[in-house]
Structure 1
Amino acid sequence: MLIWGKGRYRTRLAETPEDLEAAQRLRYRAFISGTGAVDRTDGRDADAFDPVCRHVLIEEARTDTLVATFRLLPLASGAEIGRCYSAQYYELEALESFQGPMVEMGRFCIEPGVTDPDILRAAWGAMTSFVDSEGVEMLFGCSSFHGTDAEYYADAFAMLTERYLAPKRWLPRIKAPNVFRFAERLRKPDRVTALKRMPPLLKSYLTMGGWVSDHAVVDRDLNTLHVFTGLEIRAIPPARARALRAVAG
């Protein structure tokens, strides 16, 4: 089912087992192959959440080539937060009181070696269409930094501490056994270095009013550091919301 299409790319929901396999193989190339993550022998990145998620495929319209993918897990409200992927790593009890519809966005990746910024724009166009059509009030997920060297990302974490920590009413607590408590390290970030080393998807969340947990989970299985990231839709600045809807339209 087509959910967004403009210019060079189109975005649709996976409908067949072959669609899902294509997404899983792209995730393998992006997250596993050659990244230092724990390898999978079948060339797929698959888990128990795949059957309950909606999978989004971003394809080059002219060639039907899959260039990016992500998955969505809709929740009726915060009362269902315990069944999301992120709840494996974060204590999300504070979000149980969130009343509106939510959606977890996960496993976002782009084909290795492909750098067209329009792909990320296509992803946000599709996400905006989905959020509007489903009445979603909060978007959340895990934003990943490649590798587990926290010091390399010291300026990025310092910027998150200075500007982007979650409101206390929603703040995720520690659950994972191995975490980096970056908010306890007080330092002035170098803005240029921080932005250079911040994952593009996370930067997009932050420009829309997003926030993060006060710690990063050290995920040695995927060889990443990740922070819980939330975005209340009503907090998106009006100018940014208009721009997103212009892309989505």
Structure 2
Amino acid sequence: MATAVLLSKGRYQARLARSAKDVAAAQALRTLAFGTKQPDQDDFDTLCAHVLVEDMRSDGQLVCCFRMLTIEDGAEIGCSYSAQYYDLTTLADFSGRMVEMGRFCVHPDWKDPDILRVAWGAMTAYVDQNGVEMLFGCSSFAGTETAEYLDAFAMLRDRHLGPTRWLPRVKAPDVFRFASRLRRRPDAKKAMLRMPPLLRTYLMMGGWVSDHAVVDRHMNTLHVFTGLEIGTIPPARKRLLRAVAG
């Protein structure tokens, strides 16, 4: 099992939540970052481990958080948050331990790119300590309008669709089937500018996405299912992540 402190780098420390107070702080940051009218909390919060990234030069200010749901293999994937929106029966045969990474957010007043690096370093430490073989979750684009993200979706279609054997099927009532319906050659520069930072990091490590995006009006987002098999991460990228995690 992972220790409480996962990583300490420079001014930031990443640790696991240790109390109900810690979880409440993560929920408050999520509510602020996502701009929801109601507190951002659900039943999955009690099932997940929560990672808090704190700025130790600002009295331990919480600047980033995310949660992780660990399942032993694909047979349990129907219990995940993502399974509410995607038909994940194709992943039921995945035989290794899996972690669903969700509710990732950064405090809107903190713009330091090192925060994302520390968060991924903490995730790497957790993955290594717990023998995780796949990360997955929902990667979100802000808003529910597709027009400003067409280049990004075209790039996802051309370069980053998941393997057929794992590809989720449609379940949600409102989806954007970009892989089959989008007729556009992507402008690479525009695509990367509009790609969410978390998703961009997944893709740099060899992650893949579903062939459709879910229109989530409750959260005011478009999201794609994202998977990352740990064994397929390029060796150079693994070394970089482990250097941060170490």
**Considering the TM-score relative to the shorter chain, is it more than 0.5?**
yes
1:32 shift after superposition: 2.1
Instruction: Output one character per residue of 1:33-53: Cα deviation in whole Å (capped at 9) or x when no partner.
Output: 5xxxxx21xxx2101100000
What secondary structure sits across from 2:51 in the alignment? Answer: strand
Task: Name the amino acid aligned to 2:61.
Answer: T
C-alpha distance in 2 between matches for 1:24 and 1:163: 34
C-alpha distance in 2 between matches for 1:180 and 1:101: 30
1:3 shift after superposition: 1.1
1:89 to 85, 88, 103: 85
1:11 shift after superposition: 0.5
Which residue is 1:36 aligned to? none
Which residue is 1:2 aligned to? 5
The gaps in structure 1 that reach 5 residues or longer are 34-38
Number of positions where the alignment pairs a residue of Structure 1 with one of Structure 2: 241
C-alpha distance in 1 between matches for 2:41 and 2:190: 33
Task: Name the amino acid aligned to 1:204.
Answer: T
1:242 shift after superposition: 0.3
Whether 2:72 is the aligned partner of 1:59: answer: no
What secondary structure sits across from 1:194 in the alignment? Answer: helix
Whether 2:215 is the aligned partner of 1:218: answer: yes
C-alpha distance in 2 between matches for 1:151 and 1:215: 15
Which residue is 1:119 aligned to? 115
Bigger mean CA deviation after superposition, 186-195 or 204-213: 186-195
What secondary structure sits across from 2:185 in the alignment? Answer: coil
Matches within 5 A, 1:30-69: 30-33=33-36, 39-40=37-38, 44-62=39-57, 63-69=59-65
Task: Name the amino acid aligned to 1:150.
Answer: T
C-alpha distance in 2 between matches for 1:202 and 1:30: 17
What secondary structure sits across from 1:231 in the alignment? Answer: strand
Bigger mean CA deviation after superposition, 196-205 or 182-191: 182-191
CA contact (8 A) 1:53 1:71 kept: yes
2:31 to 14, 28, 31: 28
C-alpha distance in 2 between matches for 1:113 and 1:222: 20
C-alpha distance in 2 between matches for 1:143 and 1:194: 15
User: Structure 2 length as normaliser, TM-score?
Assistant: 0.97
Which residue is 1:233 aligned to? 230
2:22 to 19, 22, 25: 19
Whether 2:242 is the aligned partner of 1:248: answer: no
What secondary structure sits across from 2:18 in the alignment? Answer: coil
C-alpha distance in 2 between matches for 1:202 and 1:148: 17
C-alpha distance in 1 between matches for 2:6 and 2:210: 31
CA contact (8 A) 1:32 1:45 kept: no
- Alpha-carbon RMSD: 0.7
